[in-house]
């Protein structure tokens, strides 16, 4: 077996096939560790999934229910654009193209937020988007995530959600969404596979109502109560 996949089993919401049919995930277990935090640093949960898979929506519910500090990489980059910083134009053009901003820029924004916060538990949304992102975080922060949530959603559903989002984002148009999906498959799925192999990945079926999806998230966090209290 190359990788380990953890599925959350609910009475009426179990499934075993991901929208991307990631083949290395062969094991099937209901086992969830009751204590995942052994080291000294803060608890870190990465939140991954394609564009429009519902990461931000579910993060808001996690914050409300479990009090983690939410850092959205995309929001930090958009804030940088809005503040006309030295990287603003480069970031804007990269986002319009559906591409990924250089890792040093994104990690430095995340680092600033983490280091200026008193929080001991972080929800890092939309990061890492690539192996380069992942390696830069480990190198600069000297830390790895404790767990990784993957919101697994079919492409058609993601496209519909993004095109109906109505938040005025420059990347919420069909051309950019198609490019973002290509980038997701080429660069982000390998990272998701990496965490599956490390036994850190929790796959959530991202189809259903917001509350139905959150029940799967709740099952993960309920089992992790030692670190989230
Ligand atoms: N379960 C759901 N069913 C239907 N619509 C949803 C669901 N979850 C979220 N949405 C809607 O889909 C859109 C995208 O959701 P959200 O912004 O949370 O996705 P995201 O994964 O953060 O996307 P991005 O990577 O582009 O930031 C939003 O308009 C949100 O209200
Ligand atoms: N690690 C990241 C996260 C985000 N970006 C850029 C590229 C994304 O398309 C855009 C929006 O992010 P989202 O709000 O959808 O999470 O921000 C990046 O380059 N690197
Ligand atoms: Mg988002």
Percent of the residues in the chain that have a pLDDT greater than 90, as a whole number: 79
pLDDT of 133 higher than 80: yes
Tell whether 2 is covered by a domain.
Answer: no
Residues with beta carbon < 5 A to ion ligand 3?
55-56
**CB of 183 sitting under 6 A from ligand 2:** no
Q: What is the mean pLDDT of residues 191-204?
A: 97
Q: 138 is written with which tokens?
A: 């480990």
Report which protein residue has its CA nearest ligand 2's atom 8: 95
Q: How many CB atoms lie within 10 A of CB 178?
A: 14
Ligand 2 pocket mutation, candidates 60, 70, 73, 181, criterion most atoms within 8 A of CB:
73
Pick 131 or 11 by higher pLDDT: 131
Within 8 A by CB and 6+ apart from 115, the residues are none
Tell whether 154 is covered by a domain.
Answer: yes
* Number of domains within the chain: 1
pLDDT band at residue 16 under the 50/70/90 scheme = very low
Please indicate if the annotation marks 56 as binding a ligand.
yes
Separation of CA 14 and ligand 2 centre (Å): 30
The domain of 94 spans 11-228
Tell whether 69 is covered by a domain.
Answer: yes
Closest-approaching ligand to the CA atom of 179: 2
pLDDT of 207 higher than 90: yes
Separation of CA 128 and ligand 2 centre (Å): 9
Separation of CA 126 and ligand 2 centre (Å): 6
Opening angle at CA 84, ends 81 and 88, nearest 5: 45
pLDDT of 54 higher than 60: yes
Tell whether 6 is covered by a domain.
Answer: no
pLDDT of 1 higher than 70: no
Pick 86 or 8 by higher pLDDT: 86
Please indicate if the annotation marks 57 as binding a ligand.
yes
Handedness of CA 206, 209, 214, 215 (dihedral sign): negative
For the sheet containing 69-72, what is the strand order? 6-7, 201-205, 147-152, 43-49, 121-125, 69-72
Specify the pLDDT at position 22: 56
Q: What is the mean pLDDT of residues 137-145?
A: 98
Tell whether 3 is covered by a domain.
Answer: no
Tell whether 85 is covered by a domain.
Answer: yes
Tell whether 136 is covered by a domain.
Answer: yes
Tell whether 113 is covered by a domain.
Answer: yes
| Dist CA 105 CA 204 (whole Å) | 29
CATH number at residue 64: 3.40.50.300
Specify the pLDDT at position 40: 77
């Amino acid at each position: 077996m190359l990788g380990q996949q953890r599925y959350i089993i609910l009475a009426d919401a179990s499934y075993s096939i991901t929208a991307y049919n990631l083949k290395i995930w062969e094991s099937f277990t209901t086992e969830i560790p009751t204590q995942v935090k052994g080291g000294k640093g803060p608890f870190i949960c990465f939140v991954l999934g394609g564009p429009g898979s519902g990461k931000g929506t579910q993060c808001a519910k996690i914050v409300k229910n479990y009090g983690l500090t939410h850092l959205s990489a995309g929001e930090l980059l958009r804030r940088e654009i809005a503040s006309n910083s030295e990287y603003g134009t480069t970031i804007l053009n990269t986002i319009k193209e559906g591409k990924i901003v250089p890792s040093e820029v994104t990690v430095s924004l995340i680092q600033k937020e983490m280091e200026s916060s008193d929080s001991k538990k972080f929800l890092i949304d939309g990061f890492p988007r690539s192996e380069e992102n992942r390696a830069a975080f480990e190198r600069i922060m000297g830390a790895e995530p404790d767990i990784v949530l993957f919101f697994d959603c079919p492409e058609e559903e993601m496209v519909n959600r993004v095109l109906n989002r109505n938040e005025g984002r420059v990347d919420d148009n069909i051309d950019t969404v198609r490019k973002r999906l290509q980038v997701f498959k080429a660069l982000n799925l390998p990272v998701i596979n990496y965490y599956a192999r490390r036994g850190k990945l929790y796959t959530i079926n991202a189809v259903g109502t917001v509350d139905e999806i959150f029940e799967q998230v709740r099952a993960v966090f309920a089992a992790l109560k030692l670190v989230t209290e």
